[in-house]
Amino acid sequence: MNRYIIAIAIAVGFTACGRFGNKDEKQDQEERIVSVSKQHNEIIYALGAEKDIVAVDISSTYPPEIKELPTVGYHRALSLEGLLAAKPTMIIHDGPASIGPDHVVRQLEQLNIPVKEFATKGNTIDSTKLLIREMGAYFGKEQQADSLCNILDADMETALENAKKYPDTPKVLVIHYGQAMNVYLVVTKKNTAAKMIEWAGGTMAVDDPKAMKQLSAEVVAKSDPDVILLTDFGYDRLNGSQEKIKELPGVSSTKAFRNNRIYRVEEHDLIYLGPRTGKNVLELQKIIHADEPV
């Protein structure tokens, strides 16, 4: 009997590691916001409104200090008691498609937990600025919101000007590791990342009705990209070694691989828009036009 009690005890011990073990440092606060949207969280931190945030979802990774907050799990696989253990006075999310499972949403309604969804969806530069302003008004940080929007505008202007100077529009393949399904995915023209690449003066190599598509040798060979970007988790999983990246289906036959043009990008710099988008586009330009004279 003792043997498996010990086994269970060891398993319990493991969970003390990682972000799940973060302590709540804001126990005495009255205003307690749990925000489960990575885009909103980045804006909240940029606005300097993070004081009331007591917990976030595990996919929120920017800015780095956000990782010190307790987490409530993944935003589409929340647990009701887990959420409520953070004693939220408000839960912020970015729409019914990104909060779940459904029954947890219903339970929140049933218990009358205040939930906030901002009306604006930041999926273009203009709507992102609107979202920043809306959130600025909500948190009483209108001035910061204005200055964030101005910086974003200025950066975007520089970036778009820059993009015109590059003679080529390299084909870019973005490979993203889908942690939910343990498969490598390619990001398509339907994704926010495609806009970023375009602004940076490149073009997305793969088109598909879905925003992401499973990585296969055919897809990669057909697109024959000039540059391959691997998002952080997938890149780190392969330790960034050329040998292992080569083994991904189709990758070894691409121009990008022959010319040694495979790079790591942070997922949170590419997959949604926010106050840093202009700067991220500038960074992307440096990467995808690395071999071109300006």
Partner 1 sequence: MSRFNKRYTGIYPLLLVLLIGITLCSIRYGAVQISVKEMFSGLNHWFSSPASMSLNERIFMEIRFPRAVLCVLVGASLAVGGALMQSLFRNPIVEPGLVGTSSGAAFGASLYFVLGSIFNFSTGEWTLPLAACAGGILATFLVFILSESRQPGRNSVVALLLTGIAINALFISGVGFMSYMARDPQARSITFWTLGTLSGANWHSVMITGFTSVVCILLALRYTKHLNALMIGEEEAQFMGVRIKRLKLIVLLINLVMVAVATAFTGVISFIGLIVPHLLRIMAGSDNRYLVIGSALMGGILLSLADLIARLLLQPAELPIGIVTAVVGVPVFIILLRNRNYYF
Residues 77-96 close enough to bind partner 1 by CB under 8 A: 77-86
| Residue 178 sits in the site that holds partner 1 (CB under 8 A) | yes
Closer residue to partner 1 (CB): 6 or 137: 6
The Cα 28–Cα 26 span in angstroms is 6
Phi and psi dihedrals of 92, rounded to 5?
Answer: -105, 130
3-class DSSP assignment, residue 92 = strand
Least distance from partner 1 to the Cβ atom of residue 163, Å = 29
Distance of CA 188 to the CA centre of its chain: 16
Least distance from partner 1 to the Cβ atom of residue 156, Å = 28
Centre a 10 Å sphere on the Cβ of residue 222 and count the other Cβ atoms it contains: 11
* CA 293-189-248 angle, 5° bins: 80
| Residue 103 sits in the site that holds partner 1 (CB under 8 A) | yes
Taking the alpha carbons of 57, 61, 65, 67 in that order, is the dihedral positive or negative?
positive
The Cα 245–Cα 260 span in angstroms is 11
Closer residue to partner 1 (CB): 51 or 103: 103
| Residue 249 sits in the site that holds partner 1 (CB under 8 A) | no
| Residue 58 sits in the site that holds partner 1 (CB under 8 A) | yes
Least distance from partner 1 to the Cβ atom of residue 48, Å = 26
How many residues sit in the footprint of partner 1 (CB under 8 A)?
Answer: 44
Contact 248, 184 (CB under 8 A): yes
| Residue 15 sits in the site that holds partner 1 (CB under 8 A) | yes
Q: Which residues bind partner 1 (CB under 8 A)?
A: 3-4, 7-8, 11-12, 15, 20, 55, 58, 70-74, 76-86, 97-98, 100-104, 106-107, 110-111, 178, 180-181, 210-212, 214
